[in-house]
Structure 1
């Protein structure tokens, strides 16, 4: 097989799967997030992810370079130490694989704009600072106020999500909590009045979550099937009953002037982003 044929075969294989090495002197979370975002644009090719986190010595880097040589592929890295960066870049050049320093363009732009020097300390974003403890406190609060728990102190929340079953209240709250937002959620249950504290809230941003009734019914049916409970709570999946639930929920949202988000075609991240925007606007108005 000549060189051109081998190159074509290699390219064809990459269309199915490809190796990606994530090399970081910190946790590697930033690189993993970037990889997922970029790889989603190429759905026909599957990245085989090799994570090397907390790489802070040349001995550790030796192991990483050996793995890259064994399974050549894209290399994404966030490494502060100049000597280690240079070794990684030289080895990737020898292997003829791309080496991408993912944060350099942002860091350089910030440095130029601010007129400040960059710190050379690895993993500073993960220090146990005030933001870290605020995030942990938010997660604790959100877990304690999931699914209508502890409604007596909802006033301490930053955000309260209200909606019928299967409108992504819990995962959205957990996403917000990881951003340091104290988020609670209150389910709307047919035949049960919402807790009286809900309509008296002043400090939290209360947001109503809704969805297409037919889509909700399908999601609920699938969930009951997975739980082996298809015959239970027929009204839970009945199309007319679900439509009635959604209509009543929307009336409650309008009555109280709560902003409403339709989550039918939104991911949890998109819903959370909208809520964060609403919260920013509210806090700006209060300021």
Structure 2
């Protein structure tokens, strides 16, 4: 039986994943993993007592430079193998980037917080996709409106993965947009325009799959675009984004750039 200790001044989650990823390549080995988080010098001394018995490999991710050196010396002086992940990789990055690292504990928690904020943004966007809900529109960072097949949903999902809460609504001739849309900051609203020719191409492809010919009629498309443009003219505070020749990434970039200027 072999032992591997994961020792960190943080949670130790990064080192634990690293070790597990490598252990997959050693299916015949019986290994017991022990994780020790939020380690300081006193706690390291306690870990050493157990390590002297089990003779483990110590894998560390310790950001604090003084603590890292102290713990490294503590184990190596007692003939315990140690693998300093943070020290090895941080030196490589410093050399490549030609910049000194911050070397502060707990920075990964900031990353985790950002991750969970992103999850919230995605959840909000899914709940407010394609006219699903007009509730909590004041919490939206971005609101997209446009005709059917103007990339509202894929653009919304892309923006949500960047951390933006997005709602989108389809413009349908003869149907009113939600009243709630007009009671919020109009700078959040982006009108997606498109040329009749491009919309016709997109809907032609869609019509083949749906088997609905009227969906891609040119006359109908021209009428819809005329209606959408007339709506936009009544609300000039909305930002117009022409998606005719833009990829999702390009349209998203334009929206984000516009928002950054408004901050």
**Which interval holds the TM-score relative to the shorter structure?**
0.5 to 0.7
The question of 1:222 aligning with 2:222 is answered: no
Which string of whole-angstrom CA distances, capped at 9 and with x for unpartnered residues, describes residues 65-92 of structure 1?
xxxxxxxxxxxxxxx6566899xxxxxx
Secondary structure of the corresponding residue to residue 219 of structure 2: helix
Segment drifting more, 163-172 vs 213-222 = 213-222
The question of 1:165 aligning with 2:148 is answered: yes
Which string of whole-angstrom CA distances, capped at 9 and with x for unpartnered residues, describes residues 174-218 of structure 1?
111111111100100122122222233226610000111111112
Secondary structure of the corresponding residue to residue 136 of structure 1: helix
Where in structure 2 are the equivalents of 1:163-242 lying within 5 Å?
163-202=146-185, 205-226=188-209, 229-230=210-211, 232=212, 234=214, 236-242=215-221
* TM-score (norm. length: structure 1): 0.57
Counterparts in 2 of 1:82 and 1:259: CA distance versus 1, 3 Å: same
The question of 1:254 aligning with 2:233 is answered: yes
Secondary structure of the corresponding residue to residue 241 of structure 2: strand
Secondary structure of the corresponding residue to residue 149 of structure 1: coil
Q: Structure 2 regions of 5+ residues with no counterpart? A: 1-12, 26-84
Match of 1:6 in 2: none
Structure (1 or 2) with the larger CA radius of gyration: 2
Counterparts in 2 of 1:252 and 1:125: CA distance versus 1, 3 Å: farther
Residues of 2 paired with 1:183 and 1:58: CA distance?
37
* TM-score (norm. length: structure 2): 0.61
The question of 1:277 aligning with 2:257 is answered: yes
Report the aligned-residue RMSD. 3.6
Q: Structure 1 regions of 5+ residues with no counterpart? A: 1-25, 28-53, 64-79, 87-100
Where in structure 2 are the equivalents of 1:1-287 lying within 5 Å?
56-57=18-19, 60=22, 107-108=97-98, 111=99, 116-119=100-103, 124=108, 127-129=111-113, 131-202=114-185, 205-226=188-209, 229-230=210-211, 232=212, 234=214, 236-257=215-236, 258-283=238-263
Residues of 2 paired with 1:125 and 1:269: CA distance?
28
Segment drifting more, 131-140 vs 202-211 = 202-211
Match of 1:17 in 2: none
Residues of 2 paired with 1:259 and 1:211: CA distance?
14
Following superposition, the deviation at residue 107 of structure 1 comes to: 3.5
